[in-house]
Structure 1
């Protein structure tokens, strides 16, 4: 080991340790002058390329351990990318990336609010609304986008769009979201932390500039129901998983748990052990981008479109999870090790939570002839994190099941984004009243999940599968008639699962069609099960929604990935983010829409599936003041991957708990009666 080199675990995707972050930044600042007032946007693992991993496969060594660093030189208005080799203790890559803006750092959000609140025009705007103590104002800096930046502002500047809310008192928390200061817009140059423009369209009603009601939801602020009894999860023998550093094993599943500031939770090398063989399923999985466009026509709302992954670094917004609140039962946590804008170490304790939970029936068989019954409970493993993005909170759950299927789930909660309207105004479908004079605009959430597939070590091929009905006839309804042709449908009932091989990128651009039962199947044509079928996994969509924006809208230009629910590309090391590497203030057209113009081959390739999960949110008063979790998901299921059900060997509950089998079956009955 070279002098000063930091040891790391055998997992090449192990997130950077605190000492590695410190060392990487020290090496960078020693070799290069970053300039005055520079911000260290991120320091994270520079993941080794696949070719390097394959070259070292079987050898007792690993690729060079490297850190990728993004710096914003505020004084020179430059964005710098650098890669530091921790093995060689040197900078191996340094480049000024022209014309891009990196994601906004938390420290910039904080400084932006302070800058706005010190501005006299902003203070005067609040005073015109009858607010004497302007310290009650709170400012949420939004990403400025591109097309909605005022024409008299230089779009090459690093900008934030400040929206103002009024707190009940100077020291109150986020109760300010109940009183938006509608009509007031502030644009801030983040590089020099100066207000460049204040626009005030005025309140919706001069006599009543603010909605009349506040909000209460915290413990101690509301009267709690008293008829709920305790519910405890008990695992006296400990959990069923095995954790070694960031390597996780559970019920046949194996994976490495990773983290980036941009994506948050990242899962590497997802595989399944089958008869002592470790079979690969996915090389890398994460939520790679988000887009949250609003549908309001009002000048105060129509610009809203947050890209929370690429513009805000959703991993940096992760919260520390707590037992009994975010998770129940026996827990294991991983910390998220990141950096501050000064290049120092920032650790979010317990950012990733691991636990098991009961999930109802796995399978059941009752035979009325023998009066026998076999029942198995379904248990699932949960790997999750929660990000607090301004007023919204997002819960990302990755579920793994005992039948070798997995599910990706997002839960949306927190506080709805709202604007004030006049006493007699009606949003008319572009929003909904959630309280008097408080409008929650209609909006959508799109989450794009990048799934770098690798079924049985590839290469893989993709099929679209959907129901295909057969026209009625010929023949009659004689039930004893033998139909030799698949085109026969005398009873009008025949249909089959049509499988269409998709061989080019543009063929694979698709929307869900639940009316046809559409799903997509990734297979390895070189690996067959005992029935001669290629092994595979299928992507089963759940609830989803089509983007409601016009094709030529700024939203569709900047978030082009929302045009389709499914995109498929051949793997390329540089194609990690569906809206491009730098979506902040980008005019659009980057990412998936640009890459797929070449219409590359996707047959027998290293395939990457990009699945866009859409949520339509028409609000209601029941969503206020805090939104009950809205739950959306999709699933991945094995198809011809196994010889038979992989869940057949799950033991019954009494065998797990060492209980005697009760006379009525293999499940113990509980009763309130003595």
Structure 2
């Protein structure tokens, strides 16, 4: 019997398509940018037992290119019923995500435009077959004639030959605004001819260094984890269910350790990449890689020995294409163990006893390619109960021309080639259930104490505790100088010392969104203006920037939710944690960028009564 959180199968996607067609929702040309599992509420999932019947529901976003209309449909596959239809106003509600076929179709639209071809000719490019037209999300800037239009903005790059990297040769100064429904260039911006950088930026072709000897990672007796029913993983006391969403990608469900709940659901629910160049060609460059481009749809098929090493278990992911037909991404998710150094060690000066234990971690990961960037998402589970997320950014930096006068908004990475300053800001959705459904959140700071009668030598410090009691209190900033962490404690269980069992969220404390408060991107990516938001749990509130991010004017998602100011003390809660990288590109980032990491850690704090790894055996 299917579990309520089982990943959608190819048969279920076929059934969804048939159901939509039966109810005349898939007319000629109608596209389906999103078809996803509609997850039940926490309580329903928690009450489910093997053998219980399951109402399998899906959520489909439909787009009719002939009319420009779109809607969201909620449907039950189990009951073969349409439960709800939500009509969208594109001018007010935003647009459905961009499909791959729309991205691919832009090349022909741009190259058919006489104005664009003339702009290329002015730059000495008469043969446009080696020009790569790069389609990018349009954003929302209240420009004349754009409201309600489904658009992309297009920059261009030149190739010396078909296998030459176009990112090395930006054709700068030209941007085409494309209406995807009319299939025309509605505006062309040309700020003047700029030399196209000549030096090539290809990579991965050798010659290779000869200094390395083989490094083998082997487990002759097999891995320590088990996978049952295609979804459920057990390892070192941990148990969880692997999920996959076409928008978010990898999701971990029902995360527990030693049969005690930690989280109902964890994922990366959104990410935004805002650029810093305010010029007329690039001011609009702000990308929501989940909400606009669908991270899960862009997942890579991972390769043994390259993306993952060791004793690997792979999970395929099945997603729907724009025809609502199933597409299998082979080896989309990688599961493996890694040695992780010393777990604990001590040499006792009194007894002479020596003991040391090796640490290992379980890694669940996937990789997605969004245009020029590649992102790896690695969830690490540790034997001591800690959970970490490590996000690694690599790929090719976005490029433009760099003149000899320099630029305030970009770094020169090769002769005449610039890479604009930008940020990668991720938002993790953490539906925590620490020892039960209800919890509380406190902000913990270290506090220096002045010299006083109580502290005569000035060495004392303590910890302050601030309860986050309601949603309007829940927008918080990290603070390295204050050693700030956020504690999520159980409202139902205490440890042997009488304290609530808890986990703490340990942030990295990087910059939040750097755009001005009045900027369009600040309204659209309001989640990125704080490191932490806390909201009352609601399964319908999935994405921190709202449901339809593409071309939405902003203020959706978290700003709307926290305005309700619901109580957070002893109730079901969701944490939204923003973290990321502010990237000032270096020459070392060209022509392909070494991985840059960011993330956070969830660590048990009074969850266990003592070190939970005392029973880890010594190594051989």
TM-score normalised by the chain length of structure 1: 0.89
Q: What are the within-5 Å matches in structure 2 for residues 126-275 of structure 1?
A: 126-147=120-141, 150-151=143-144, 153-169=145-161, 171-172=162-163, 175-204=165-194, 209-218=195-204, 220=205, 222-244=206-228, 245-273=230-258
User: Cα offset for 1:212?
Assistant: 2.3
Could you say which residue in structure 2 is the equivalent of 1:346?
Answer: 327
Aligned equivalents of 1:62 and 1:361: distance in 2? 46
Corresponding residue pairs, total: 616
Gaps of 5+ in 1: 1-7, 475-487, 655-674
Could you say which residue in structure 2 is the equivalent of 1:426?
Answer: 406
- Alignment partner of 2:31 out of 33, 39, 42: 39
User: Cα offset for 1:533?
Assistant: 0.7
Could you say which residue in structure 2 is the equivalent of 1:288?
Answer: 269
Contact 2:440–2:569 (Cα < 8 Å) also in 1 = yes
SS state at 2:120 partner: helix
User: Cα offset for 1:338?
Assistant: 0.6
Q: What are the within-5 Å matches in structure 2 for residues 59-98 of structure 1?
A: 60-98=51-89
Aligned equivalents of 2:341 and 2:53: distance in 1? 42
Farther off after superposition, 19-28 or 125-134:
125-134
Aligned equivalents of 1:150 and 1:226: distance in 2? 55
Aligned equivalents of 1:607 and 1:499: distance in 2? 19
Aligned equivalents of 1:348 and 1:322: distance in 2? 12
> 2:443 matched to 1:443?
no
User: Cα offset for 1:51?
Assistant: 4.4
User: Cα offset for 1:355?
Assistant: 0.7
Tell me the alpha carbon deviations over residues 468-509 of structure 1, each in whole angstroms, 9 at most, x when there is no partner: 1111022xxxxxxxxxxxxx1101010012122121122221
Aligned equivalents of 1:167 and 1:625: distance in 2? 15
Tell me the alpha carbon deviations over residues 514-549 of structure 1, each in whole angstroms, 9 at most, x when there is no partner: 111100000013311110010011001125223221
User: Cα offset for 1:439?
Assistant: 1.1
Tell me the alpha carbon deviations over residues 24-70 of structure 1, each in whole angstroms, 9 at most, x when there is no partner: 1011112214333211112221112234335x445841431122211
User: Cα offset for 1:457?
Assistant: 1.2
SS state at 2:344 partner: strand
Could you say which residue in structure 2 is the equivalent of 1:633?
Answer: 599
Runs of 4+ in 1 over 6 A off after TM superposition: none
User: Cα offset for 1:121?
Assistant: 2.2
Aligned equivalents of 2:423 and 2:203: distance in 1? 25
Aligned equivalents of 2:81 and 2:66: distance in 1? 25
Tell me the alpha carbon deviations over residues 172-225 of structure 1, each in whole angstroms, 9 at most, x when there is no partner: 25x000111111111111223222222222233xxxx2112111212x3x3211
- Alignment partner of 1:465 out of 440, 444, 448: 444
SS state at 1:87 partner: coil
SS state at 1:515 partner: coil
SS state at 2:129 partner: helix
User: Cα offset for 1:372?
Assistant: 3.6
Aligned equivalents of 2:300 and 2:356: distance in 1? 38
Structure with greater Cα Rg: 1
Could you say which residue in structure 2 is the equivalent of 1:113?
Answer: 107
Tell me the alpha carbon deviations over residues 312-367 of structure 1, each in whole angstroms, 9 at most, x when there is no partner: 11110111001111111010111110111122211110011101111111111112
Contact 1:262–1:310 (Cα < 8 Å) also in 2 = yes
TM-score normalised by the chain length of structure 2: 0.97
User: Cα offset for 1:389?
Assistant: 0.5
Contact 1:241–1:251 (Cα < 8 Å) also in 2 = yes
> 2:481 matched to 1:515?
yes
Contact 1:405–1:638 (Cα < 8 Å) also in 2 = yes
Aligned equivalents of 1:150 and 1:434: distance in 2? 33
SS state at 1:19 partner: helix
User: Cα offset for 1:511?
Assistant: 0.8
Cα separation, partners in 2 of 1:458 and 1:87, compared to 1, 3 Å = closer
